[in-house]
A = this chain, B = another copy of it.
Amino acid sequence: MSTQNGQSVVRWEGTETNGKRGHGAGVRVHRIEIETTKRVEIRDLTELVQGIVRDAGVDAGLVTVSTMHTTTAVFVNEPQSALLDDVQQMLERLAPRGEDWKHNDSRYSDCDRHNADSHLRAIMLGNSVSLQVSEGTLTMGQWQRVLMAELDGPRKRQLVLQVLAP
């Protein structure tokens, strides 16, 4: 598993801004589309998110990065290639792909993607992160990055990013 920053196919569409506009207050929403390339893959969204925050012109506030899919996740950590392989190893132990999950059993489930492991891993990793914005930038430690986990790819995935400033 590796991050694919340079080759990542991401596109952000438009900006809906609402709420009070005075002094930069309000809520801005950006939709992001990521095209993943493997069944399990972790992508670094940090530069994309930082760019959106910068363009929003918000000085201080809260960014919520939310995935729209039940078989993807968003979390914060260090995207070192070796560590990302270890994440996959831990997830495989936590929710083994080949286990006889009921979600994968046609007697109990009408889903034929055999992705029970994907749902379970997504639940444990989380569907969103909240990031602080201060002086126009994300408040993150030296090694922290915003990461999206694809768990049932490859597919086109939607995330929604909200920048909220009081």
Hey, which bits of chain A sit against chain B, CB under 8 A? Answer: 16, 18-20, 22-23, 25-27, 29, 59-62, 64, 66-70, 75-78, 80-83, 85-87, 89-90, 93-95, 101-103, 105, 108-109, 111, 116, 119-120, 122-132, 134, 139-144, 158, 160, 162, 164-166
Contact = CB atoms under 8 A, between A and B. Distances in A.
Contact of A64 (B59, B62, B86, B95): B62
Contacts of A119: 77-78, 83, 86
A108 B82 contact: yes
A84 to B, nearest CB: 9
Contacts of A140: 68
Given A102-B85, A166-B165, A125 B123 contact: yes
Q: How many copies of this protein are present in the complex? A: 3
B164 A123 contact: no
B86 A116 contact: yes
A157 to B, nearest CB: 10
- Could you tell me the dominant secondary structure of chain A's interface residues? mixed
Contact of A144 (B125, B127, B164): B127
B109 A83 contact: yes
Contacts of A25: 19-20, 166
A66 B63 CA distance: 13
